[in-house]
Structure formats: structure tokens, C-alpha cells
Amino acid sequence: MSSRSLRRRLHHGDVDGKRKEHFDSSGLDSLSEPLLADDDYTENKKICTLEDLWDDERKRAQFHWTFIFSNIIAQWAQWLANVVLGSGSIIGRLLSFPYSALNLPNNRILPPSLSPLQEERVRHLRQRLEVPFDGSKAEHQDALKQLWKLAYPNRELPSLKSELWKEMGWQGSDPSTDFRGGGFISLENLIFFAKTYPDSFQRLLNKQDGIRADWEYPFAVAGINISFMLAKMLDLQAGNPSSLSGICFLKLLEEDEMAFDNLFCVAFQMMDAQWLAKRATYMEFNDVLKFTRAQLERELALEDISSVKDLPAYSMLR
């Protein structure tokens, strides 16, 4: 049996072999859950009790007071850094960016004020994230066709429901059924990847690098999961990102309106490199994606990163 036949027999609920990998994405209807997660997610949620509600109230109160005191400390640290120590010293630089030291509950930190340009670009990005894929819309159908032409410029375009779509890494003959985890933006990300970095796109699509596994990850579906992962990692469901990665991303977004799409390409290339390094198979996709997220978070937090092109992993794109 060929590796392609083996891949077609696998279903998204069994990717990690444990059927228990979930992400919460409240606030973005189109990003309801990652595609390769358990279909029984909603059935396994805990029932909220009165005690749970009281705990939530206590947590909100603690968060409120922590936020107030953190703001006071942050302002004092900023004043001390600028007036007493000066911004040129090592200690001054540390104190001049108090967000990295003042963690709030749930690994959140104080969000900075956004410039008008950042506000506009964050708003536009959130609008893109909220668009679900709709296979009945001509615009979305045309985008799928465009992706095929970019992926296989010398091949005939198949119908929107065809077994040929599986060769691109969709899980069935109808790609529209695979978008519930990522929305229309994930298709836009794939198209951007194919147009902006065609060599890297083709290498990953055709699995040209390294020694590949018998059970490879499906290319297109992997892209949907990467889009979902980035939206969660960058805290884009929030009105104002308050995760460290999200705050670092704001600076990239100010420099590049397409920073999310460029970061998608970097993350995809990084994921494939980790896949090869770990000699992973299809069943280990979620583990590789978690490792990719951790590595990307570390790179975003590096000093002197003002654009996606400054990330060390960007050099892997060709």
C-alpha cells in the first residue's frame, strides 16, 4: 500500500493518536477549533457549577486589583529607568520594558497603547479572521481554484469536488469541508505563500526536502492548522493582544501590513524543518506543531526584531 493511500485513510480526529488535543478560541466564530482536533470536543466540556461561577468571580476580582497595581509599578519602573538610570544602561533597558516582567494571571501582560496605524491593521486582521470559508460563495470558490493553479500550473483544474484535491493535502474530495478550523484567512495564507515564496511553497507541497515519513502530514490541512495556531499564539481574538508574542507581533504589524501572512510562511517552513529533524509521522503532527509554536514564540521575543524578515527562521524561506 502506498504512503498516499495510507494518508487518505487517516481522519482528523486521530492525528495525535490520543483524541484529546483541544484549543479554546472564544471570540472568533470562524476559528471554532483546530481542524485536526477531536470531534467530541463539545461533548467533553465540563458542566459549569455554582462553585465554578464563584471561582470565576474571585479570579476576575484578583485580576482587577493585579492590573491596577501592575500599572502603578510599571509607571514607577518607567520613570526610574528614564530619570535615574537612563535608557542606555542594561538595567535601564530592562526597566523601560516592564511588560516582560509583570505577568498577569493566565500568562497575560499589560498591553501597550496602539498607534493609529496599529489599531487600523489589527482591526483589519481581525475582520479577516472572522470570515468563515463558504463554499457557496464565488469569491471563495475562485480562491480555491487560484490555489490549485499556483500549486499545479501545468495541470488541468479539477472540479470543486474531486479526488484530485487530496493530492494537495485535503482530507477528502471536497476541500470546503476542511476549513472549519481556520476560516477563509487560512486559504488566503496558502495563496500568499504560493505567490510570495513559490520555491519554498513547492518544496513543502511536494515534500522535496530530507527523508520523508511513510505517513506524511497533509499539506493543505497543515496550513489551516498553522493559521489557527498563529491566531491563538498572537492573541488576536482579544481586542488588544496581551500575550508577549501578541505584543511583539504588533511591532511587526506596524512595519508590514502583511506580517501575519509572512509569519504564516515562516511558521510553515519552520514546522516542516522540525518535522524532518524529529523524523515525525502523521500521528505526531500536533506535537510538532506545539514545538514549532514554542520556537516561534522564542524568536518573536528576541531583541532587535522589527520585521518578520529579522526572525532567524526567515532565512529558511527561498
For residue 252, being part of any structural domain is answered with yes
For residue 19, being part of any structural domain is answered with no
Q: Count how many domains the chain has.
A: 1
Identify the domain containing residue 279 by its residue range: 116-314
Residue 263 has pLDDT above 80, yes or no: yes
Residue 114 has pLDDT above 90, yes or no: no
Q: Quote the pLDDT of residue 236.
A: 86
For residue 53, being part of any structural domain is answered with no
Per-residue model confidence as pLDDT tens digits over 185-231: 999 999 999 999 999 999 999 999 998 888 899 999 999 999 999 99
Better-predicted residue by pLDDT, 192 or 6: 192
Q: Quote the pLDDT of residue 103.
A: 47
Residue 251 has pLDDT above 80, yes or no: yes
Q: Quote the pLDDT of residue 237.
A: 77
To the nearest whole number, what is the mean pLDDT of the chain? 75
- Phi, psi of 37, rounded to the nearest 5 degrees: -100, 180
312 vs 289: CA distance, rounded Å: 18
Q: Which residue has the cell 506535537?
A: 287
For residue 219, being part of any structural domain is answered with yes
For residue 228, being part of any structural domain is answered with yes
For residue 256, being part of any structural domain is answered with yes
Window from 15-19, 84-88, 145-149, 157-161 with minimum mean pLDDT:
15-19
184 vs 167: CA distance, rounded Å: 20
For residue 186, being part of any structural domain is answered with yes
The CA-atom distances, in angstroms, between 304 and each of 211, 293, 299, 310 are: 35, 20, 11, 8
CA 232-237-238 angle, 5° bins: 115
For residue 5, being part of any structural domain is answered with no
